[in-house]
Amino acid sequence: MPRTITIFDTTLRDGEQAPGASMDHSAKLQLARQLARLNVDVIEAGFPISSPEDFESVRAIAEEIEGPSIAGLARALPKDIERCWEAVKPAAKPRIHTFIGTSKVHVEKRFGKTEDEVLQMAVDGVRLACSLCDDVEFSAEDAMRTRLEYLRDVVEAVIEAGAKTVNIPDTVGYATPWQMYETIQYLFENVPNIDETVISVHCHDDLGMSVANSLAAVRAGAGQVECTVNGIGERAGNASLEEIVMALRTRGDEFDADTNINTREIMTTSRMVSTLTGFVVQPNKAIVGANAFAHEAGIHQHGMIQDRQTYEIMRPEDVGLTESVFTLGPRSGKHGLRSRLEKLGYVIPDEEMEEIYERFLAVADRKKRVYDEDLHVIMRQASTEAMPEVWHLERVQVTTGTALEPMGLVVLRRNGDTVTTVSHGNGPVDAVYDAIGKIVEMDGLEMADYSVRGITRGQDALGEATVRVRWQGEEAVGQAASLDVIEASAQAFLNAVNSLLLRQRARERGEVEEGPARPVL
């Protein structure tokens, strides 16, 4: 009988910490619902102390989502743990996930403490968490660069203190598969109370070995894997959920282990994460890349026609890849739209259906064929536009051409007043951005990143712009999609500007703590 490995999804916490991947409240709820359909065992919904927004999202997910355990992250500090408990306690199965750095560099440089002092903090944190919540996980941050005997002592002590799961993170993506195997094996052989807990692994992909390392840990006896959809996460990202799950499913002979994941929901979840975060999945990405199941070479196609198994180790339908390409058009009714959206994981309350349908028709009338990817964008736009605005985009217009200096005209509205400005630039987007900059008058506003991509195929694809801006030591990301890339670019820039201004307002009202509360993980 294969072991069942617990899948702990941290897309909403570690994944969302990737620069530029931030999701708003409704996007997080949307994704949490889909993660429940994917049947992950644990959803790490956020880091409640890091911001009031994170707290609210974790709490909303804990209140609504049924099925998976809902975890929140907390440093091994009383204020973090208590705040985390406030956020997760409405869940049917709440979990507090507390952590502290255990490697030399964390112990000595980051905390200026001794190993014994850090061990005591870990134990105190776990005890406090256990006094509040039945399900407590402890992580020894930077475990893979931690002195092995000390790691053993920490693991033993936190199990003794009540941790039901003990996680061994490779925080900086430094480990190799055999080192990971030996570390987990060492813990199983040297921690006397190890059978009272589940050993977990959490790998980052800095050297491209996160999935291999996670699987090595499973082979050595780990019972939980922490991962993210599409492998998103800080720096090079986290171990990818879909790769781990499909490796266990496809190579059961090697691991004698499987998961509870409903693999047919993998594609839908991957696309949702890509749309909600704006992180494009590379075409050759294992399992979910556009080419993962495409066979171009004639010799492969010939083999496939005779027997699929010649070149195919997994069936596309097992990961939810169906043949259907275009689904809806201008004549599609509300019923058809709702049922397609439900298949894509969106639950639409009746009172919102009319508005979503109108948005759909606006795209369908211009585009004729509406693909699933377009529907994801329509849904994201509906949630973004429901967010409060400081500046509203009334109109954008450009004049450009090979023999012309590009010119942009922008009309913005704030508190009922409209302001119009015209500007020139190196290109039409530059001209529009310059005009917006002149209107919003935010001194030192800097563009850190700008990209635009076609979301679906063909000439009439929706274009999605992603913009990262910096101002007064803060960063914000804005995204928008439209059939017109200039409009998408202007709206994305304005979304980022609005989010900076709203944060500033909240700070002035004392609703947001000063300084970045998120520790570097």
Q: Taking the complex as a whole, how short is the minimal distance between the CB of residue 169 and ligand KIV, in angstroms?
A: 3
At residue 63, what is the residue type? E
Q: Taking the complex as a whole, how short is the minimal distance between the CB of residue 518 and Zn ion, in angstroms?
A: 12
> Which of Zn ion, ligand KIV, none does 277 bind, CB closer than 5 to 8 A by kind?
none
Q: What residues numbered 156-215 form the site for ligand KIV, per CB under 6 A?
A: 167, 169, 171, 202, 204
CA distance 376 to 360: 11
Binding footprint of ligand KIV, residue count (CB under 6 A): 11
Question: Is the separation of the CB atoms in 170 and 202 below 8 Å?
Answer: yes
CA distance 52 to 70: 18
Among 497, 490, 501, residue whose Cα is nearest residue 395 = 490
Please enumerate in sequence order all residues whose Cβ is within 8 A of that of 128, keeping only pairs 6 or more positions apart, or say none.
Answer: 78, 81, 82
Among 118, 67, 116, 70, residue whose Cα is nearest residue 90 = 70
Cβ neighbour number for residue 199 with a 10 Å cutoff: 22
Structure tokens at 295: 């066979």
Q: Which residues pair with 225 in a beta bridge?
A: 7, 201
Q: Does 14 bind ligand KIV (CB under 6 A)?
A: yes
Q: Does 14 bind Zn ion (CB under 5 A)?
A: yes
Q: Taking the complex as a whole, how short is the minimal distance between the CB of residue 134 and Zn ion, in angstroms?
A: 24
Among 85, 99, 138, 181, binds ligand KIV (CB under 6 A): 99
DSSP assignment of 16-74, as one string? TTSTT----HHHHHHHHHHHHHHT-SEEEEE-GGG-HHHHHHHHHHHHH--SSEEEEEE
> Which of ligand KIV, Zn ion, none does 141 bind, CB closer than 5 to 8 A by kind?
ligand KIV
Question: Is the separation of the CB atoms in 503 and 474 below 8 Å?
Answer: yes
Q: Does 136 bind ligand KIV (CB under 6 A)?
A: no
Q: Taking the complex as a whole, how short is the minimal distance between the CB of residue 219 and ligand KIV, in angstroms?
A: 21
By C-beta, is 169 or 320 nearer to ligand KIV? 169
Q: What residues numbered 360-419 form the site for Zn ion, per CB under 5 A?
A: none
By C-beta, is 239 or 382 nearer to ligand KIV? 239
> Which of ligand KIV, Zn ion, none does 9 bind, CB closer than 5 to 8 A by kind?
none
Binding footprint of Zn ion, residue count (CB under 5 A): 2
Among 141, 153, 242, 243, binds ligand KIV (CB under 6 A): 141
Among 417, 419, 440, residue whose Cα is nearest residue 501 = 440
By C-beta, is 33 or 204 nearer to ligand KIV? 204
Query: Which span (111-119, 151-159, 481-489, 513-521) binds Zn ion, by CB under 5 A?
Result: 513-521
By C-beta, is 14 or 242 nearer to ligand KIV? 14
Structure tokens at 37: 């359909």
By C-beta, is 73 or 319 nearer to Zn ion? 73
Ramachandran class of 345: left when φ > 0, alpha when ψ lies in -120 to 50, beta otherwise: left
> Which of Zn ion, ligand KIV, none does 479 bind, CB closer than 5 to 8 A by kind?
none
By C-beta, is 11 or 499 nearer to ligand KIV? 11
Binding site for Zn ion (CB under 5 A): 14, 521
Binding site for ligand KIV (CB under 6 A): 14, 73, 99, 139, 141, 167, 169, 171, 202, 204, 521
